[in-house]
Structure 1
Protein backbone atom coordinates (compact mmCIF):
# COMPACT_ATOMS: atom_id res chain seq x y z
CA UNK A 1 0.00 0.00 0.00
CA UNK A 2 1.44 3.38 -1.01
CA UNK A 3 2.07 6.20 1.45
CA UNK A 4 -0.65 8.20 -0.33
CA UNK A 5 -3.22 5.45 0.26
CA UNK A 6 -2.17 5.18 3.90
CA UNK A 7 -2.56 8.94 4.34
CA UNK A 8 -6.01 8.87 2.68
CA UNK A 9 -7.12 5.94 4.87
CA UNK A 10 -5.95 7.61 8.08
CA UNK A 11 -7.44 11.01 7.28
CA UNK A 12 -10.89 9.44 6.88
CA UNK A 13 -10.75 8.48 10.56
CA UNK A 14 -11.81 11.17 13.10
CA UNK A 15 -8.67 10.69 15.18
CA UNK A 16 -6.39 11.64 12.28
CA UNK A 17 -8.66 14.11 10.48
CA UNK A 18 -6.84 17.19 11.80
CA UNK A 19 -3.56 16.32 10.06
CA UNK A 20 -2.65 17.88 6.72
CA UNK A 21 -0.83 15.97 3.99
CA UNK A 22 2.30 17.86 4.94
CA UNK A 23 1.89 16.79 8.58
CA UNK A 24 1.41 13.11 7.73
CA UNK A 25 4.09 12.72 5.05
CA UNK A 26 7.13 12.50 7.39
CA UNK A 27 5.18 10.51 10.01
CA UNK A 28 4.06 7.81 7.57
CA UNK A 29 7.67 6.97 6.77
CA UNK A 30 8.00 5.56 10.27
CA UNK A 31 4.87 3.41 9.99
CA UNK A 32 4.83 -0.26 9.02
CA UNK A 33 2.20 -2.04 6.90
CA UNK A 34 1.30 -5.63 7.80
CA UNK A 35 -0.59 -7.94 5.44
CA UNK A 36 -2.18 -10.91 7.23
CA UNK A 37 -3.84 -14.10 6.06
CA UNK A 38 -6.91 -15.63 7.70
CA UNK A 39 -6.02 -17.08 11.10
CA UNK A 40 -2.57 -15.46 11.19
CA UNK A 41 -1.44 -14.23 14.60
CA UNK A 42 -1.00 -10.47 14.89
CA UNK A 43 0.21 -10.48 18.50
CA UNK A 44 0.68 -13.38 20.90
CA UNK A 45 -0.36 -13.18 24.52
CA UNK A 46 2.68 -11.85 26.38
CA UNK A 47 4.14 -9.96 23.40
CA UNK A 48 5.39 -6.47 24.23
CA UNK A 49 3.29 -3.72 22.64
CA UNK A 50 5.59 -1.32 20.76
CA UNK A 51 3.07 0.22 18.35
CA UNK A 52 -0.55 1.24 17.91
CA UNK A 53 -2.26 -0.70 15.11
CA UNK A 54 -4.89 0.78 12.80
CA UNK A 55 -7.01 -1.74 10.87
CA UNK A 56 -7.13 -0.77 7.20
CA UNK A 57 -8.85 -3.84 5.73
CA UNK A 58 -10.40 -7.07 7.01
CA UNK A 59 -11.25 -8.05 10.59
CA UNK A 60 -9.01 -8.50 13.64
CA UNK A 61 -10.13 -10.47 16.73
CA UNK A 62 -8.90 -10.54 20.33
CA UNK A 63 -9.14 -14.04 21.81
CA UNK A 64 -8.68 -15.58 25.24
CA UNK A 65 -8.22 -19.31 25.85
CA UNK A 66 -9.61 -20.53 29.18
CA UNK A 67 -8.10 -23.17 31.45
CA UNK A 68 -10.69 -25.67 30.15
CA UNK A 69 -9.68 -24.98 26.54
CA UNK A 70 -12.68 -22.77 25.77
CA UNK A 71 -12.07 -19.93 23.34
CA UNK A 72 -13.57 -16.53 24.14
CA UNK A 73 -13.69 -13.90 21.43
CA UNK A 74 -13.42 -10.77 23.53
CA UNK A 75 -13.63 -8.18 20.75
CA UNK A 76 -13.50 -7.81 16.98
CA UNK A 77 -12.09 -4.84 15.08
CA UNK A 78 -13.12 -3.75 11.58
CA UNK A 79 -11.49 -1.17 9.26
CA UNK A 80 -10.96 2.11 11.09
CA UNK A 81 -10.55 0.43 14.49
CA UNK A 82 -7.45 0.95 16.61
CA UNK A 83 -5.61 -1.60 18.77
CA UNK A 84 -2.85 -1.26 21.35
CA UNK A 85 -3.41 2.37 22.33
CA UNK A 86 -4.27 1.30 25.91
CA UNK A 87 -1.03 -0.73 26.19
CA UNK A 88 1.68 1.19 24.42
CA UNK A 89 2.22 3.75 27.21
CA UNK A 90 1.55 1.32 30.04
CA UNK A 91 4.28 0.27 32.50
CA UNK A 92 3.10 -3.30 31.81
CA UNK A 93 2.81 -3.11 28.03
CA UNK A 94 2.29 -6.80 27.25
CA UNK A 95 -0.70 -8.14 25.33
CA UNK A 96 -2.95 -9.93 27.86
CA UNK A 97 -4.63 -11.92 25.07
CA UNK A 98 -3.83 -13.17 21.59
CA UNK A 99 -4.75 -11.03 18.57
CA UNK A 100 -5.48 -12.81 15.26
CA UNK A 101 -6.72 -11.96 11.78
CA UNK A 102 -10.26 -13.32 11.44
CA UNK A 103 -10.09 -12.92 7.65
CA UNK A 104 -7.48 -11.62 5.23
CA UNK A 105 -6.54 -8.24 6.69
CA UNK A 106 -4.08 -5.37 6.59
CA UNK A 107 -3.11 -2.89 9.26
CA UNK A 108 -0.65 -0.07 9.77
CA UNK A 109 1.53 -0.06 12.90
CA UNK A 110 2.36 3.37 14.32
CA UNK A 111 5.44 3.40 16.62
CA UNK A 112 5.36 5.01 20.05
CA UNK A 113 7.69 7.82 18.93
CA UNK A 114 5.40 8.69 16.00
CA UNK A 115 2.36 8.80 18.33
CA UNK A 116 4.19 11.26 20.56
CA UNK A 117 5.06 13.39 17.53
CA UNK A 118 1.42 13.33 16.40
CA UNK A 119 0.40 14.54 19.86
CA UNK A 120 2.82 17.46 19.61
CA UNK A 121 1.35 18.44 16.23
CA UNK A 122 -2.38 18.04 17.05
CA UNK A 123 -4.25 18.50 20.32
CA UNK A 124 -7.33 17.06 18.53
CA UNK A 125 -5.41 13.78 18.07
CA UNK A 126 -4.63 13.61 21.80
CA UNK A 127 -8.30 14.17 22.70
CA UNK A 128 -9.42 11.33 20.44
CA UNK A 129 -6.66 9.03 21.70
CA UNK A 130 -7.66 9.56 25.33
CA UNK A 131 -11.34 9.07 24.50
CA UNK A 132 -10.61 5.81 22.66
CA UNK A 133 -8.53 4.52 25.57
CA UNK A 134 -11.27 5.36 28.09
CA UNK A 135 -14.10 3.90 26.00
CA UNK A 136 -12.18 0.69 25.27
CA UNK A 137 -11.32 0.15 28.92
CA UNK A 138 -14.96 0.50 29.97
CA UNK A 139 -16.18 -1.76 27.15
CA UNK A 140 -13.80 -4.61 27.96
CA UNK A 141 -14.37 -4.31 31.71
CA UNK A 142 -18.15 -4.50 31.28
CA UNK A 143 -17.97 -7.40 28.85
CA UNK A 144 -15.58 -9.54 30.86
CA UNK A 145 -17.47 -8.83 34.08
CA UNK A 146 -20.80 -9.79 32.55
CA UNK A 147 -19.43 -12.95 30.96
CA UNK A 148 -17.73 -14.19 34.13
CA UNK A 149 -20.92 -13.82 36.18
CA UNK A 150 -23.20 -15.84 33.91
CA UNK A 151 -23.83 -19.57 33.74
CA UNK A 152 -23.76 -21.37 30.39
CA UNK A 153 -27.56 -21.58 30.42
CA UNK A 154 -27.86 -17.85 31.06
CA UNK A 155 -25.54 -17.14 28.14
CA UNK A 156 -27.58 -19.39 25.84
CA UNK A 157 -30.87 -17.83 26.92
CA UNK A 158 -29.49 -14.33 26.40
CA UNK A 159 -28.35 -15.31 22.91
CA UNK A 160 -31.79 -16.79 22.14
CA UNK A 161 -33.56 -13.67 23.43
CA UNK A 162 -31.46 -11.40 21.22
CA UNK A 163 -31.98 -13.60 18.15
CA UNK A 164 -35.72 -13.96 18.84
CA UNK A 165 -36.08 -10.19 18.81
CA UNK A 166 -33.91 -9.90 15.71
CA UNK A 167 -35.45 -12.75 13.68
CA UNK A 168 -38.99 -12.37 15.14
CA UNK A 169 -39.46 -16.11 15.23
CA UNK A 170 -39.34 -18.93 17.77
CA UNK A 171 -37.23 -20.86 15.26
CA UNK A 172 -33.79 -19.30 15.50
CA UNK A 173 -31.84 -19.82 12.29
CA UNK A 174 -28.14 -20.16 13.00
CA UNK A 175 -25.62 -18.58 10.66
CA UNK A 176 -22.73 -20.02 12.67
CA UNK A 177 -21.58 -23.50 13.67
CA UNK A 178 -21.84 -24.93 17.17
CA UNK A 179 -18.08 -24.37 17.51
CA UNK A 180 -18.48 -20.72 16.52
CA UNK A 181 -21.44 -20.33 18.88
CA UNK A 182 -19.34 -21.73 21.73
CA UNK A 183 -16.59 -19.23 20.91
CA UNK A 184 -19.10 -16.39 20.81
CA UNK A 185 -20.46 -17.35 24.23
CA UNK A 186 -16.99 -17.97 25.63
CA UNK A 187 -17.62 -21.59 26.63
CA UNK A 188 -16.23 -25.01 25.82
CA UNK A 189 -17.98 -26.67 22.85
CA UNK A 190 -18.61 -29.85 24.84
CA UNK A 191 -20.10 -27.85 27.70
CA UNK A 192 -22.35 -26.00 25.26
CA UNK A 193 -23.64 -29.25 23.74
CA UNK A 194 -24.24 -30.72 27.19
CA UNK A 195 -26.27 -27.68 28.29
CA UNK A 196 -28.29 -27.63 25.07
CA UNK A 197 -29.19 -31.28 25.68
CA UNK A 198 -30.28 -30.42 29.24
CA UNK A 199 -32.43 -27.57 27.97
CA UNK A 200 -34.05 -29.91 25.46
CA UNK A 201 -34.80 -32.44 28.22
CA UNK A 202 -36.32 -29.58 30.24
CA UNK A 203 -38.52 -28.85 27.18
CA UNK A 204 -37.17 -25.31 26.88
CA UNK A 205 -35.81 -25.75 23.38
CA UNK A 206 -35.38 -28.16 20.53
CA UNK A 207 -32.57 -27.95 18.02
CA UNK A 208 -31.12 -29.30 14.80
CA UNK A 209 -27.98 -28.71 12.76
CA UNK A 210 -28.84 -25.16 11.72
CA UNK A 211 -31.56 -23.95 14.09
CA UNK A 212 -32.74 -23.77 17.69
CA UNK A 213 -36.48 -23.74 18.40
CA UNK A 214 -37.71 -21.97 21.53
CA UNK A 215 -40.41 -24.14 23.11
CA UNK A 216 -41.25 -21.96 26.13
CA UNK A 217 -40.82 -18.25 25.52
CA UNK A 218 -41.72 -17.25 29.06
CA UNK A 219 -38.92 -19.38 30.47
CA UNK A 220 -36.20 -18.05 28.19
CA UNK A 221 -36.16 -14.50 29.48
CA UNK A 222 -38.20 -11.60 30.87
CA UNK A 223 -41.48 -10.21 29.60
CA UNK A 224 -39.76 -8.18 26.86
CA UNK A 225 -39.21 -11.33 24.80
CA UNK A 226 -42.96 -11.87 24.62
CA UNK A 227 -43.53 -8.79 22.47
CA UNK A 228 -42.25 -9.43 18.94
CA UNK A 229 -43.33 -5.94 17.87
CA UNK A 230 -40.67 -4.17 19.90
CA UNK A 231 -38.24 -2.51 17.48
CA UNK A 232 -34.47 -2.70 17.97
Structure 2
Protein backbone atom coordinates (compact mmCIF):
# COMPACT_ATOMS: atom_id res chain seq x y z
CA UNK A 1 0.00 0.00 0.00
CA UNK A 2 1.52 3.32 -1.04
CA UNK A 3 1.29 6.72 0.68
CA UNK A 4 -1.70 7.90 -1.37
CA UNK A 5 -3.70 4.78 -0.46
CA UNK A 6 -3.09 5.51 3.23
CA UNK A 7 -4.15 9.15 2.84
CA UNK A 8 -7.32 8.17 0.96
CA UNK A 9 -8.26 5.98 3.93
CA UNK A 10 -7.27 8.57 6.56
CA UNK A 11 -9.94 10.61 8.30
CA UNK A 12 -8.33 13.91 7.32
CA UNK A 13 -8.82 13.30 3.60
CA UNK A 14 -12.16 11.49 3.83
CA UNK A 15 -14.45 12.34 0.91
CA UNK A 16 -11.64 13.88 -1.16
CA UNK A 17 -10.68 12.37 -4.52
CA UNK A 18 -7.14 10.92 -4.84
CA UNK A 19 -6.23 13.36 -7.64
CA UNK A 20 -7.32 16.27 -5.46
CA UNK A 21 -5.29 14.94 -2.53
CA UNK A 22 -2.10 14.90 -4.63
CA UNK A 23 -2.69 18.52 -5.68
CA UNK A 24 -3.53 19.58 -2.12
CA UNK A 25 -0.31 18.12 -0.70
CA UNK A 26 1.66 20.59 -2.81
CA UNK A 27 -0.62 23.48 -1.86
CA UNK A 28 -0.40 22.51 1.83
CA UNK A 29 3.43 22.24 1.75
CA UNK A 30 3.24 18.68 3.10
CA UNK A 31 6.57 17.01 3.93
CA UNK A 32 7.33 13.31 4.35
CA UNK A 33 9.85 12.29 6.99
CA UNK A 34 11.19 8.86 8.02
CA UNK A 35 12.29 7.61 11.45
CA UNK A 36 14.21 4.59 12.68
CA UNK A 37 12.90 2.26 15.39
CA UNK A 38 13.18 3.95 18.78
CA UNK A 39 13.60 7.44 17.33
CA UNK A 40 11.50 10.24 18.82
CA UNK A 41 8.98 11.94 16.56
CA UNK A 42 7.84 14.38 19.24
CA UNK A 43 9.26 14.90 22.74
CA UNK A 44 7.17 15.87 25.73
CA UNK A 45 7.28 19.66 26.04
CA UNK A 46 7.89 20.28 22.31
CA UNK A 47 5.98 22.87 20.33
CA UNK A 48 3.97 21.21 17.57
CA UNK A 49 2.93 23.18 14.49
CA UNK A 50 2.26 20.33 12.06
CA UNK A 51 -0.39 17.65 11.74
CA UNK A 52 1.43 14.33 11.47
CA UNK A 53 -0.20 11.45 9.59
CA UNK A 54 1.48 8.05 9.84
CA UNK A 55 2.13 6.55 6.42
CA UNK A 56 4.14 3.48 7.37
CA UNK A 57 4.97 1.63 10.59
CA UNK A 58 3.67 2.24 14.11
CA UNK A 59 4.41 4.56 17.02
CA UNK A 60 3.35 5.06 20.61
CA UNK A 61 2.53 8.09 22.72
CA UNK A 62 3.99 7.99 26.22
CA UNK A 63 4.03 10.26 29.23
CA UNK A 64 6.30 10.35 32.28
CA UNK A 65 4.61 10.29 35.67
CA UNK A 66 5.91 12.44 38.53
CA UNK A 67 7.83 9.37 39.72
CA UNK A 68 9.54 8.99 36.35
CA UNK A 69 7.48 5.97 35.27
CA UNK A 70 6.72 5.80 31.55
CA UNK A 71 3.01 5.40 30.86
CA UNK A 72 1.74 4.32 27.43
CA UNK A 73 -1.07 6.67 26.40
CA UNK A 74 -1.91 5.32 22.95
CA UNK A 75 -0.62 3.49 19.89
CA UNK A 76 -0.59 4.91 16.37
CA UNK A 77 -0.84 3.09 13.05
CA UNK A 78 -0.97 4.08 9.35
CA UNK A 79 -3.65 6.69 8.81
CA UNK A 80 -3.47 7.82 12.44
CA UNK A 81 -2.15 11.10 13.81
CA UNK A 82 0.75 12.27 15.93
CA UNK A 83 -0.02 15.10 18.39
CA UNK A 84 -2.95 16.50 16.40
CA UNK A 85 -4.52 18.05 19.51
CA UNK A 86 -1.34 19.96 20.32
CA UNK A 87 -1.03 21.14 16.71
CA UNK A 88 -4.61 22.42 16.85
CA UNK A 89 -4.19 24.11 20.23
CA UNK A 90 -1.83 26.83 19.06
CA UNK A 91 0.72 27.74 21.73
CA UNK A 92 0.42 24.76 24.09
CA UNK A 93 3.39 22.40 24.47
CA UNK A 94 2.97 18.71 23.72
CA UNK A 95 2.02 16.86 26.96
CA UNK A 96 3.46 13.54 25.77
CA UNK A 97 6.17 12.00 23.60
CA UNK A 98 5.69 10.07 20.36
CA UNK A 99 8.23 7.34 19.59
CA UNK A 100 8.67 5.06 16.58
CA UNK A 101 8.10 1.38 17.43
CA UNK A 102 9.54 0.33 14.07
CA UNK A 103 10.66 1.93 10.83
CA UNK A 104 8.24 4.83 10.51
CA UNK A 105 7.15 7.33 7.86
CA UNK A 106 5.11 10.41 8.75
CA UNK A 107 3.56 13.09 6.55
CA UNK A 108 3.66 16.52 8.19
CA UNK A 109 1.23 19.25 7.18
CA UNK A 110 1.57 22.75 8.68
CA UNK A 111 -1.66 23.33 10.58
CA UNK A 112 -1.73 26.99 9.51
CA UNK A 113 -2.05 25.84 5.88
CA UNK A 114 -5.03 23.68 6.77
CA UNK A 115 -6.74 26.53 8.62
CA UNK A 116 -5.93 29.20 6.03
CA UNK A 117 -8.54 29.98 3.41
CA UNK A 118 -7.68 28.31 0.11
CA UNK A 119 -6.69 30.88 -2.53
CA UNK A 120 -8.44 28.80 -5.18
CA UNK A 121 -11.60 28.53 -3.03
CA UNK A 122 -11.70 24.80 -3.80
CA UNK A 123 -14.41 22.59 -2.33
CA UNK A 124 -11.81 19.96 -1.41
CA UNK A 125 -10.16 22.35 1.05
CA UNK A 126 -13.50 23.03 2.69
CA UNK A 127 -13.93 19.28 3.14
CA UNK A 128 -10.39 19.06 4.54
CA UNK A 129 -11.22 21.70 7.14
CA UNK A 130 -14.37 19.85 8.20
CA UNK A 131 -12.40 16.62 8.44
CA UNK A 132 -9.74 18.35 10.54
CA UNK A 133 -12.23 19.41 13.22
CA UNK A 134 -13.84 15.98 13.08
CA UNK A 135 -10.41 14.40 13.62
CA UNK A 136 -9.78 16.59 16.67
CA UNK A 137 -13.05 15.42 18.21
CA UNK A 138 -12.25 11.80 17.36
CA UNK A 139 -8.82 12.00 18.99
CA UNK A 140 -10.28 13.63 22.10
CA UNK A 141 -12.80 10.79 22.42
CA UNK A 142 -10.00 8.21 22.03
CA UNK A 143 -8.23 9.80 24.99
CA UNK A 144 -11.51 9.77 26.89
CA UNK A 145 -11.72 6.00 26.31
CA UNK A 146 -8.13 5.69 27.54
CA UNK A 147 -9.04 7.59 30.69
CA UNK A 148 -11.91 5.17 31.31
CA UNK A 149 -9.28 2.45 31.87
CA UNK A 150 -7.10 4.58 34.11
CA UNK A 151 -9.85 5.64 36.51
CA UNK A 152 -10.98 2.07 37.22
CA UNK A 153 -10.13 1.18 40.86
CA UNK A 154 -8.81 -2.38 40.35
CA UNK A 155 -6.65 -4.21 37.82
CA UNK A 156 -9.58 -6.47 36.98
CA UNK A 157 -11.80 -3.49 36.23
CA UNK A 158 -9.09 -1.93 34.06
CA UNK A 159 -8.62 -5.16 32.07
CA UNK A 160 -12.35 -5.68 31.54
CA UNK A 161 -12.88 -2.05 30.54
CA UNK A 162 -10.06 -2.24 28.00
CA UNK A 163 -11.02 -5.62 26.54
CA UNK A 164 -14.70 -4.67 26.32
CA UNK A 165 -13.77 -1.56 24.34
CA UNK A 166 -11.48 -3.49 21.97
CA UNK A 167 -14.07 -6.23 21.43
CA UNK A 168 -16.77 -3.64 20.81
CA UNK A 169 -14.62 -1.88 18.21
CA UNK A 170 -13.71 -5.18 16.54
CA UNK A 171 -17.27 -6.54 16.82
CA UNK A 172 -15.80 -9.82 18.05
CA UNK A 173 -15.38 -11.68 21.34
CA UNK A 174 -11.90 -12.87 20.42
CA UNK A 175 -9.30 -10.16 19.76
CA UNK A 176 -5.56 -9.83 19.39
CA UNK A 177 -4.29 -6.82 21.32
CA UNK A 178 -1.18 -4.86 20.22
CA UNK A 179 0.61 -5.35 23.56
CA UNK A 180 2.88 -7.86 25.24
CA UNK A 181 2.47 -8.12 29.04
CA UNK A 182 4.95 -5.35 29.81
CA UNK A 183 3.31 -2.96 27.34
CA UNK A 184 -0.18 -3.91 28.53
CA UNK A 185 0.85 -3.17 32.12
CA UNK A 186 2.24 0.18 30.96
CA UNK A 187 -0.96 1.00 29.09
CA UNK A 188 -3.14 0.16 32.10
CA UNK A 189 -0.61 1.81 34.46
CA UNK A 190 -0.27 -1.24 36.72
CA UNK A 191 2.55 -3.49 37.93
CA UNK A 192 3.42 -6.18 35.40
CA UNK A 193 3.58 -9.03 37.93
CA UNK A 194 0.28 -7.97 39.49
CA UNK A 195 -1.30 -7.85 36.03
CA UNK A 196 -0.10 -11.37 35.21
CA UNK A 197 -1.50 -12.70 38.49
CA UNK A 198 -4.84 -11.00 37.94
CA UNK A 199 -5.13 -12.27 34.34
CA UNK A 200 -4.51 -15.82 35.58
CA UNK A 201 -7.17 -15.40 38.28
CA UNK A 202 -9.66 -13.94 35.79
CA UNK A 203 -9.06 -16.99 33.59
CA UNK A 204 -9.73 -19.32 36.52
CA UNK A 205 -12.88 -17.36 37.34
CA UNK A 206 -14.15 -17.88 33.80
CA UNK A 207 -14.16 -14.22 32.83
CA UNK A 208 -11.57 -14.40 30.06
CA UNK A 209 -9.41 -16.80 28.16
CA UNK A 210 -6.08 -15.85 26.60
CA UNK A 211 -2.88 -17.01 25.00
CA UNK A 212 -0.10 -14.44 24.78
CA UNK A 213 -1.79 -11.35 23.28
CA UNK A 214 -4.93 -13.14 22.04
CA UNK A 215 -7.90 -12.63 24.38
CA UNK A 216 -11.48 -13.87 24.54
CA UNK A 217 -14.20 -12.33 26.69
CA UNK A 218 -16.29 -15.12 28.20
**What's the TM-score, normalizing by structure 2?**
0.71
What residue number does 1:36 align with? 35
What residue number does 1:112 align with? 111
- Contact 1:72–1:184 at 8 Å: present in 2 too? yes
* 2:152 is equivalent to residue 152 of structure 1: no
Any unmatched runs of 5+ in structure 1? Answer: 168-172, 206-212, 221-225
For residue 56 of structure 1, report the CA deviation from its aligned partner. 0.7
* 2:92 is equivalent to residue 103 of structure 1: no
Assess, with a 3 A threshold, how the Cα gap between structure 1 residues 88 and 178 changes in structure 2: closer, same or farther. closer
What residue number does 1:10 align with? 7
Any unmatched runs of 5+ in structure 2? Answer: 168-172, 210-215
- Contact 2:57–2:105 at 8 Å: present in 1 too? yes
Rg larger in structure: 1
1:15 is paired with a residue of what secondary structure? coil
2:109 is paired with a residue of what secondary structure? strand
1: CA distance, partners of 2:88 / 2:208: 47
- Contact 1:85–1:129 at 8 Å: present in 2 too? no
- Contact 1:152–1:192 at 8 Å: present in 2 too? no
The number of residue pairs the alignment matches comes to 199
1:20 is paired with a residue of what secondary structure? helix
2: CA distance, partners of 1:38 / 1:140: 24
RMSD over aligned CA atoms reads 3.8
For residue 84 of structure 1, report the CA deviation from its aligned partner. 3.1
2:79 is paired with a residue of what secondary structure? coil
**What's the TM-score, normalizing by structure 1?**
0.68
For residue 15 of structure 1, report the CA deviation from its aligned partner. 3.0
- Contact 1:70–1:186 at 8 Å: present in 2 too? no
- Contact 1:7–1:24 at 8 Å: present in 2 too? no
Assess, with a 3 A threshold, how the Cα gap between structure 1 residues 145 and 115 changes in structure 2: closer, same or farther. same
1:39 is paired with a residue of what secondary structure? coil
What residue number does 1:216 align with? 205
1: CA distance, partners of 2:104 / 2:217: 40
